[in-house]
Amino acid sequence: MKFNYTRLRQSIYRNGLTQHKLAELLGISATSLSLKLNNRIEFSNKDIINIVNILNINPNEIHLYFFDVNVNVHQHELYD
């Protein structure tokens, strides 16, 4: 399943960070973070907890940042 990380990306930049700097704070490579943000590999629970803390994301809104299903146009048409 693919997720939409647009809100997460916006939060990274709103907090004055770059993907490279966030990766450094997480202790992972910038490539690894890029792969995660592009749905190539999944975020681990540890990644999510650390990102929530770094970006000060409200725990009640975690689903909006990490589990927003990216519905493509064809899927959407099937349910209209």
* Mean pLDDT in order along the chain per 10 residues (80 residues): 94 98 98 97 97 98 93 46
Nearest to residue 22, comparing CAs of 65, 71, 72? 65
For the chain, state the CA radius of gyration: 13
Q: How far is it, in rounded angstroms, from Cα 79 to Cα 63?
A: 22
> Domain for residue 49, yes or no?
yes
> Domain for residue 1, yes or no?
no
Helix (H, G, I), strand (E, B) or coil at 76: helix
> Domain for residue 47, yes or no?
yes
Angle of CA points 37, 63, 31, to nearest 5°: 15
pLDDT recorded at residue 50: 98
Q: How far is it, in rounded angstroms, from Cα 76 to Cα 36?
A: 24
**What pTM value is reported for the model?**
0.84
- The count of domains in the chain is 1
